[in-house]
Structure 1
């Protein structure tokens, strides 16, 4: 069959699977899963292949960040590392790959659906068990891969050059720096003890010690698939930005809004914090140490807040009532609240709260009470 424009070559897929199975494999039909470069493909074959697979490819004609071949290699290495090297069933299996043609053939996880779709449709209260599975899966991924960075990068290096030293420090260093610059432009420059504490944040994240573990690089609710009903068997997806980094960067999504949300609630009262931490401690016993855990969590949340602050110049041009303004203030304050609860980074926390206060004054439409659970329930979507 002919494929729609802009996707992988069906003939290349059929040839790859035919060679793999040593018997003819034909594409019966396919459905592109917009807006991603992903398609569900139904097969006709006498082999042991399932009747449907998912194909993910590198699209043409988009900006370099979307077409960089290293993203495909990251995904392939991470998924093979989890399933083949560690025997961990937290992510889809890879059936085949053609890095030259730039596509992967993955296990079809249907009828699982993205958690964020369920949260948007029904609200967080209806999916507490799935949110708990989300938290456990994030902790389990780190627990299973802690101390295995060398093995992961050895597999990744087989697919092409990789800078293993860049991942612990984070690929977002320039964005954090941009956030600090924006704070200065708002009249809240970093200095004194807050500056010293920020150095300790960067030290913590760049040298995680026992907390160094594999992350998919985007620990949000859209990148975990679960059944709509029935058992909450979670599978993590989207490993394009996979790399080994501080495990607690994967916990930030439980405490601080990600790109999709205005609020995420308080994981300490909903039980998500305990679900995550218990799963993490199975592979990283140091997670039981309150001081060590708190310092790492506070550092990860503050780092994320600064990454989001780099969007200030863009948001300042938005019209009154834009949800992104609300989200930025909520993000800053949630990061500060988390650090305060962890009894960490007191001067940095004060600095972040000052930035949020300035933004509330600058954007009166965004000066709202996020503690009002009727208006801002957990996982209220940003529009």
Structure 2
């Protein structure tokens, strides 16, 4: 088992927020951290140099997509995912489980794995836990995720129980199949919104032993209250000496609340996908750049923002680009949104170091004109 040399540097005295760092084969990652999503070996519209300049130190790649196209064996022959995409920082690859369940036109869950049809060409495939490990080892990511069954929502207790138990059996097979010494392996805690199932899953995963632990199948349709209830109950139970990862979440508010409860790692397509849809994040909330109110607006997206987009361009120009469907619109919007998310996390890290995260959190909500959740 690989050690990420995870250390906790500071804790906020008023809540569960913690400031840490871990070391991979490629660099040092400061936590709490947001990982931009690079589904197909690219964070859409941005170059590796731009990501690095924004402050990104770890990004996420997608096992399912890279397995189907261009193929993990091809990427391995070309030197691995880092060399293939020209990225010198760390990479975490997901297991492919979420995409198998959400994108494949037909899937059949068997004890051995999942049979599915590709969303690209309809070809049939079987991904087993061992297959997921083989793909991720070929990709050469710094952190691999165990293959899990992504529990849908809503779901009955009995289905969630059976799904959780299968995830644990698959996790053991992943642990046994994983042999790459320079790649960490994280386990994924399942159990839907049923806290007792989540607790049972975590206990079994800890007995198997992983380099880090993730909470999966949240923000999949459940209410914000249900998600927070799971986080409040589960995050403090995750091993203290390992990174804690909340998968696929979420809004700026989700990140702040996750940190408050002790989460170290986040990923979400929201800043990049919303950028391509014209939604831009600011400290006072979000704005839709296509709105006619910005037609003659000479202001930047957010006054005081130090990103390239805000330093150079007006809302009027950005609206023009977006309405004209110019490629530059997507690039400039993405630069701003990722800058916002990464600077949000940098501010959170500083506040924890200074022992004032709760005060920072109150300021965060006050700027947005709303109360705390």
When the two structures are superposed, what TM-score results if normalisation uses the length of structure 2? 0.27
When the two structures are superposed, what TM-score results if normalisation uses the length of structure 1? 0.27
When you count strand as a share of all residues, which structure comes out higher? 2
